[in-house]
Amino acid sequence: MRKTSALFSILLLIFIGKGTAQVTFFGEPVKFPPPVCYGLPVDANTRILPRPELLSRLKSASVKKADIRVTYHDFPSAAKTAFDYAVSLWASMITSPVPIRIDATWEKLPSGVLGSTGPSVYYRGFDGSSDVFKFFPVVLAERMLGRDINGEDQPDIYGSFSNDLSLWYFGTDGNCPSGKYDFVTTVLHELCHGLGFVRSFTYYSATREGDYGLGSTGIPVIFDKYVTNIYGLYLVDTNYYPRPSTLLGSALRSNKVYFDGIVARSANSGFNAKLYAPSKWDQGSSIAHLDDSKYDGTINGLMTHATQTMEVIHDPGPIALGILGDLGWIHTWIKHDTLPDIEDLTSRVTVRAVITSDTALSRNSVKLYFSPDTFRTSTVKPLLPTGNPNEFSADIPLTKLGQRIFYYISVKDTFQRLFTAPSGAPDFVYSFYIGEDTIKPYIQHQPVPYVLDVADSVILEAVVRDNLGVDTAFIEYLVNKTPQPAIGLRHDSLVYYSASIPVRLAGITADDTIFYRIVARDKSKAHNETRLPESGYFTLQVEPVPEPVRSYHNDFNSGTFDFLMNGFSIDQPSGFYTLGLHSEHPYRSPDMDNQKLNFTAQLRIPVILTGPATYMTFWEIALVEPGEENSVFGSTDFYDYVVVEGSKDGGSTWKPFVPGWDCRAYPEWLAKYNSSKDIRGNSLAVGDMSLFKVRVINLLSDPYFQPEDTVLIRFRLFS
C-alpha cells in the first residue's frame, strides 16, 4: 500500500447454488524486465568444466551451500535433470540463510532467444544493505536481511527457456555435439542474471539519450553503481552524466564500458572487467554481460552476451563471481541492538555489536562514532573484542542530562569495503536520550465494530511502541455496563500486539454490546500511559446470525441491514443512479509505512454451498491501487486489493474463495485510476456507472470449501 486510492463499489449481488460443472494475488518493491540470452549458431568448440575447487565444494557434504528450490512448468525430464545440475553448481558457490526460489518455464521464445531470466522483484532502503540508495534483487536483499521478504510462496527468480528441443544438449558431461546448445551452460548463465548480474541502464533511440533507474524511480540497481567509462568515471555520477542525456547515451554505446568493483578487480589481476557495450544498443543484452571479444572462449566466457553451439562452460569464472561478490554475495553483517533512552545519568553506556563476514575483517577497522550535536563534532573509538564469538564493544561516556547522543558503527572487510550500522551512516544514525521521559506510548488500532454471536472470540490487533520500551499493554472492556477483568495484549513481534475477547465462550449473546479501549504504559519512572480512545470506549456490537440460506439476492434498494460494515456504506454517491455498496471515496491509506487497513462488508446471513458449484455474481468497480506489473495476489508488490472471503467457523478465520484483484482487472479501471493524480501520486479518479463490470465467482473453486459447507461471506478491501 503506497498511496490513497479511489474506490470500491458493488451493485447487485447474487449467489445461487447450481448442480452444474465448475468454471474455472521497505522502500516499495519494483519489477524490471530481465536480460535476454541469444544463441549464435556457430560451433565454438569450447569445453570448460568446473574448476577443481568448485567440484570439491560440489561433492563435499560439509561445505555450506545455498538451498535453491525450483518450480518447473512444462519441463521435459531431461531438461529438469540438466537444470538441477546447474542449480547444484550454483548452490556450491553461494550461500544464503534464506531459501532461493526459482520459477522456471519451458515455453516458446522469439527466434534466436535461448532464455531470459532475472530477479522477480527489487528492494531498496533496508537496514543491512551495503547501499541504502540502490535497488537490490530480492535474493540479495533477503540474504542481507537474513529473512524472507517477498513471501515464502513467491519466486525470487523468474526464468523462461526455449522449448525447441532441437536446440539443446541436455547432458551434464560437457560433451556437447556440433549444432547443439549446451543447456547446463545456458542455465548457469541465466541464473547468474537472477542472482544480480543485471543493470537498469537503457537507451532511447529517438533522442539518442541514455538513462537508468527501475520503473519511474530514477534509482539504479546495485550493479549500475560500479559501471564506469574507460577513464573510471561512473555512469551514474550525474556530475559527469546527467540523466537522461546524449552524453550517457554515447557512453553506453562506446564499446568502452567497465565494471569497477574491488572484488571483481581482485579476481581479474587488478583490472576492471570489460562489459558488453556495442555501438548498436541491445535492450536485452547491452551492459548486462561481459564483453564477447575479450572473454569468449575463456574461463570468464559464461557471461558474454551470446551462447554459441558446441560451447560448454560449466564455471561462472572468477570475474563473474567477483562481480557477484561486489554486489553482495560477499557481505559483512553488523548486528546491534540499539540503545534505548535512559532516565538516570550514569558514567557510561556500552555499545555492543556482533559482526560476521563472508571474508575477514580488516585489522583494527571496527569503529564507534558518536556525537552530542548531530555530528557537527564527533568522537571515534575502537570497538574491541569482548571474548564472546564475533562480539565487539565500546563505551560512550555520559556527562549530563537532557542530551541526545547520536552514534553509528563501521567496519571494513579485507577488500577495504566499508560497512556501517545503520546502513547509510552517517546520513542515517542511531540515537538515545538521557533524561526524564515524558513521551507517552504510541498506539495504532483499527477499531472492530461488530462480531457475530457464533464466534468464540473477537481478535483485536494494535501497534504499540515507546522510546523506552513498552512495560505493559492491555484491553479494558465492559459487556453492556458491566466491567470485565482486563486482558493482556500478547506481544506478537516487534511492535505488533493482539488479544482476544471471549464472546460465545463467555456467554455473550446477540444484542449485547462490548465497550473496549487499549491501554499501554512505558518503562519510564513516570510509567507514562496512553489510552485509545483518549476518552470513552470503542463500541463493538454483538450481532445475531440468521438461519442459513441456499441462495441470496440484494440490489441494495432493500435488505440494507443484511450487511455488517466497517469502512463501507450503502449509499448513492454522485455519478451513480441507484444505491450500492461503496467504500469511502477515496478510501483511506495507512499514515505509516508497513502498516495496513482492512475495510469489510460482511453478509450476516450464512450461505449453504450447493455442489458442485455455487456462483456468486455482482457488478463492481474497483479503482484500487495497482500492484507492480506481473505481480500476483499474495506477493508484497501486489499492493491494495479487493477479495471475497469465506469463513466456516463463525468468522474466526477467513480464506479467499478466489485470488484478490485490483484496478488492473480491466483496462478501463486502470486508465481511470491513472487519469488524475495529485503531486504525491494519489489517485483523484472518480467512478461512475459506466465503469461497472460483472464478476462471477464459483465459491467452490477452492477445495477448502466443500458442498454443503455453511459459510459466512465478506468483501474485504485491503489498503
Identify which of 718, 714, 715 has the alpha carbon closest to the alpha carbon of residue 598.
718
Which pLDDT band, with edges at 50, 70 and 90, does 556 fall under?
confident
Q: In this structure, is residue 229 part of a structural domain? A: yes
What's the CA gap between 604 and 453, in Å, rounded? 11
Identify which of 169, 141, 172, 164 has the alpha carbon closest to the alpha carbon of residue 154.
141
Q: In this structure, is residue 683 part of a structural domain? A: yes
Q: In this structure, is residue 276 part of a structural domain? A: yes
Q: What is the pLDDT of residue 22?
A: 20
Q: What share of the chain is helix, strand, coil (3-state, %, to 5)?
A: 15, 35, 50
- Nearest 5°: the CA angle 412, 413, 414 is 125
Whether residues 574 and 499 fall in one domain: no
Sequence letter at residue 24: T
Q: How many CB atoms lie within 10 A of CB 593?
A: 11
Final residue belonging to a domain, choices 398, 433, 468: 433
How is residue 498 annotated by DSSP? E
Q: What is the pLDDT of residue 235?
A: 98
Q: In this structure, is residue 70 part of a structural domain? A: no
Can you give the C-alpha Rg of the chain in angstroms?
29
Whether residues 464 and 568 fall in one domain: no
- The residue that leads in pLDDT, 216 or 110, is 110
Sequence letter at residue 545: V
Beta-bridge mates of residue 623: 7
Beta-bridge mates of residue 621: 9
What's the CA gap between 51 and 126, in Å, rounded? 36
Whether residues 579 and 533 fall in one domain: no
CB contact at 8 A, 96 and 139: yes
CB contact at 8 A, 484 and 498: no
Q: What is the pLDDT of residue 262?
A: 97
Which pLDDT band, with edges at 50, 70 and 90, does 56 fall under?
confident
Q: What is the pLDDT of residue 51?
A: 86
- The residue that leads in pLDDT, 598 or 46, is 46
Q: What is the pLDDT of residue 637?
A: 81
CB contact at 8 A, 545 and 452: yes
Average pLDDT, integer, range 313-330: 97
The predicted-structure confidence for 179-238, as pLDDT tens digits, reads as follows 999 999 999 999 999 999 999 999 999 999 999 998 777 899 999 999 999 999 999 999
Whether residues 506 and 616 fall in one domain: no
Torsion of CA 129, 134, 137, 142, to 10 degrees: 20
Residue 356: is its pLDDT beyond 60?
yes
Question: Is 641 exposed, middle or buried, given 0-12, 13-18 or 19+ CB atoms closer than 10 A?
Answer: buried
Q: How many domains does the chain have?
A: 4
Whether residues 537 and 622 fall in one domain: no
Q: What is the pLDDT of residue 23?
A: 20
Final residue belonging to a domain, choices 507, 524, 543: 543
Residue 27: is its pLDDT beyond 60?
no
Q: What is the pLDDT of residue 222?
A: 98
Q: What is the pLDDT of residue 17?
A: 39
Q: What is the pLDDT of residue 28?
A: 61
Q: What is the pLDDT of residue 580?
A: 84
Whether residues 551 and 694 fall in one domain: yes
504-509 LR contacts (CB < 8 Å, sep 24+): 504/453, 504/454, 504/455, 504/456, 504/457, 504/650, 505/456, 505/457, 506/479, 508/453, 508/479, 508/542, 509/453, 509/542
CB contact at 8 A, 40 and 72: no
Which pLDDT band, with edges at 50, 70 and 90, does 29 fall under?
low
CB contact at 8 A, 341 and 467: yes
For 447-493, the three-class secondary structure string (H helix, E strand, C coil) is: CCCEEECCCCEEEEEEEEECCCCEEEEEEEEEECCEECCCEECEEEE
Which pLDDT band, with edges at 50, 70 and 90, does 335 fall under?
very high
Identify which of 98, 317, 296, 73 has the alpha carbon closest to the alpha carbon of residue 192.
317
Identify which of 620, 601, 439 has the alpha carbon closest to the alpha carbon of residue 530.
439
Percentage, residues of the chain above pLDDT 90: 64
H or E stretch at 674: helix 667-674
Q: What is the pLDDT of residue 63?
A: 64
Residue 581: is its pLDDT beyond 90?
no
Taking CA atoms, 687 is separated from 7, 290, 311, 556, 672, in Å, by 7, 50, 57, 18, 8
Q: What is the pLDDT of residue 59?
A: 66
Residue 175: is its pLDDT beyond 80?
yes
- The residue that leads in pLDDT, 588 or 236, is 236
The predicted-structure confidence for 61-76, as pLDDT tens digits, reads as follows 566 689 999 999 999 9
Taking CA atoms, 480 is separated from 327, 485, 487, 501, 511, in Å, by 60, 14, 17, 14, 9
Whether residues 592 and 524 fall in one domain: no
Whether residues 504 and 490 fall in one domain: yes
* Max avg pLDDT among 485-489, 523-527, 603-607: 485-489
Final residue belonging to a domain, choices 543, 578, 613: 543
Q: In this structure, is residue 597 part of a structural domain? A: yes
Task: Please provide the distance, in angstroms rounded to a whole number, between the alpha carbons at the two ends of the chain.
Answer: 6
Backbone angles phi, psi at 78, to 5 degrees: -65, -40
What's the CA gap between 473 and 445, in Å, rounded? 13
Whether residues 207 and 277 fall in one domain: yes
Identify which of 577, 473, 571, 574 has the alpha carbon closest to the alpha carbon of residue 527.
473
Residue 162: is its pLDDT beyond 70?
yes
- The residue that leads in pLDDT, 30 or 8, is 30
H or E stretch at 93: helix 77-93
Q: In this structure, is residue 608 part of a structural domain? A: yes
Q: What is the pLDDT of residue 16?
A: 40
Q: Grid coordinates representing 217?
A: 524511480
Whether residues 389 and 423 fall in one domain: yes
User: Which of 49-53, 156-160, 304-308, 473-477 comes out lowest in average pLDDT?
Assistant: 49-53
Torsion of CA 190, 194, 200, 205, to 10 degrees: 30
Counted residue by residue, the chain has a size of 719
Which pLDDT band, with edges at 50, 70 and 90, does 428 fall under?
confident
How is residue 51 annotated by DSSP? P
What's the CA gap between 668 and 348, in Å, rounded? 63
Residue 419 belongs to what domain range? 342-433
DSSP for 275-342, please give it. B---SS--TTTTTSSB-HHHHTTSTTGGGBSEEETTEEE-S-HHHHHHHHIIIIIS-EEEE--PPPPB
168-173 LR contacts (CB < 8 Å, sep 24+): 168/79, 170/78, 170/79, 170/81, 170/82, 171/82, 172/81, 172/82, 172/85
Sequence letter at residue 175: N
Mean pLDDT taken over the chain: 89
Q: What is the pLDDT of residue 589?
A: 72
DSSP for 18-37, please give it. ESS---------B--PPP-E
Give the contacts of 148 (CB within 8 A, at least 6 positions apart): 98, 99, 142
The predicted-structure confidence for 460-479, as pLDDT tens digits, reads as follows 999 999 988 899 999 999 99
Give the contacts of 329 (CB within 8 A, at least 6 positions apart): 94, 140, 143, 195, 196, 321, 358
Percentage, residues of the chain above pLDDT 70: 93
What's the CA gap between 512 and 455, in Å, rounded? 13
Q: In this structure, is residue 509 part of a structural domain? A: yes
**Exposure string for 210-232, b = 16+ CB within 10 A, e = fewer:** bbbbbeeeebbbbbbbbbbbeee
The predicted-structure confidence for 113-138, as pLDDT tens digits, reads as follows 999 999 999 988 888 899 988 999 99
Average pLDDT, integer, range 283-301: 95
CB contact at 8 A, 299 and 321: no
Which pLDDT band, with edges at 50, 70 and 90, does 54 fall under?
confident
**CATH (domain of 514):** 2.60.40.10
Average pLDDT, integer, range 672-689: 79
Question: Is 399 exposed, middle or buried, given 0-12, 13-18 or 19+ CB atoms closer than 10 A?
Answer: exposed
- The residue that leads in pLDDT, 666 or 518, is 518
CB contact at 8 A, 497 and 461: yes
Q: In this structure, is residue 553 part of a structural domain? A: yes
What's the CA gap between 582 and 626, in Å, rounded? 19
H or E stretch at 142: helix 138-145
Local structure of 244: helix, strand or coil: coil
Whether residues 492 and 574 fall in one domain: no
CB contact at 8 A, 302 and 316: yes
Whether residues 696 and 582 fall in one domain: yes
Peptide bond into 447 cis (omega under 30): no
User: Which of 47-51, 212-216, 263-267, 681-685 comes out lowest in average pLDDT?
Assistant: 681-685
